């Protein structure tokens, strides 16, 4: 109820009439620690297949669910591979903790990269990335067949949080020569 209230109010405030809402718990249960990862994976699936999955564990939303500006349904919603520009990942934890992140769609990121770097650079990157895509496809197929072996490197390359320094301008991580700049200027003002 509280999550639906927050989402519904956000939809109202930003003029969204029927903001689609999905529920990954309906498919994988309450995974707690990996809930946000489950949601990100599902969002990638929307961009791959063009369907927002319906909430199959309900006949209809409960009466106390706020939904005047939300689309909550048990049927899949076909939006197309480029019909969703962002995904809002919302992981509500025990005790009322709530964390939300937005993920940009691949087609939006591609437009941003094209604007910043141009088609020649993107074509060169695409050529280099072919082998990475091939390896990913090969691994995916082995996972589908059930022959993939898990990769688990306990305590491998762990960096203690005290070793990381963070300011409003940069993040410094041990083992990396350059800091991660946190620019204050927006490169895409017309896309924000």
Write the DSSP symbol of residue 24: T
Q: What is the pLDDT along the chain (192 residues), one digit of tens a residue?
A: 888 898 899 999 999 999 999 988 888 887 766 778 888 999 999 999 999 999 999 999 999 999 999 999 999 999 999 999 999 887 766 555 667 889 999 999 999 999 999 999 999 999 999 999 999 999 999 999 999 988 888 888 888 888 989 988 899 999 899 999 888 777 777 765
How far is CA 19 from each of CA 9, 98, 113, 174, rounded to the nearest angstrom? Answer: 11, 19, 27, 42
What is the number of H-type helices and E-type strands within the chain?
4, 9
pLDDT given at position 182: 86
pLDDT given at position 65: 95
Q: What is the fold, at CATH topology level, of the domain defined by 2-104?
A: Peroxisomal Thiolase; Chain A, domain 1 (3.40.47)
pLDDT given at position 92: 67
Strands 170-172 and 180-181: antiparallel
Q: Name the residue ranges covered by the structural domains of the chain.
A: 2-104, 107-183
pLDDT given at position 134: 96
pLDDT given at position 93: 62
Cα gap 103→44, rounded to integer Å: 10
pLDDT given at position 94: 58
pLDDT given at position 104: 96
Cα gap 56→92, rounded to integer Å: 20
pLDDT given at position 145: 96
159 with 175: CB under 8 angstroms?
A: yes
87 with 48: CB under 8 angstroms?
A: no
């Amino acid at each position: 109820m509280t999550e639906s209230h927050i989402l519904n109010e956000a939809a109202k405030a930003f003029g969204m009439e029927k903001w689609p809402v999905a529920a990954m718990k309906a498919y994988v249960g309450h995974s707690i620690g990996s809930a946000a990862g489950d949601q990100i994976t599902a969002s990638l699936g929307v961009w791959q297949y063009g369907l927002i999955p319906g909430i199959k564990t309900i006949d209809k939303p409960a009466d106390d669910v706020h939904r005047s500006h939300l689309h909550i349904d048990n049927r899949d919603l076909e939006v197309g591979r480029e019909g969703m520009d962002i995904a809002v990942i919302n992981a509500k934890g025990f005790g009322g903790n709530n964390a939300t992140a937005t993920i940009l769609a691949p087609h939006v990121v591609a437009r941003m990269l094209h604007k910043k770097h141009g088609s020649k650079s993107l074509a060169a990157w695409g050529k280099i990335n072919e082998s990475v895509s091939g390896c990913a496809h090969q691994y995916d197929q082995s996972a589908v067949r059930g022959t993939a072996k898990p990769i688990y490197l306990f305590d491998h390359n762990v960096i203690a949080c005290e070793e990381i320094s963070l300011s409003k301008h940069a993040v410094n991580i041990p083992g990396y020569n350059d800091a991660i700049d946190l620019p204050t200027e927006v490169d895409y003002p017309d896309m924000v």
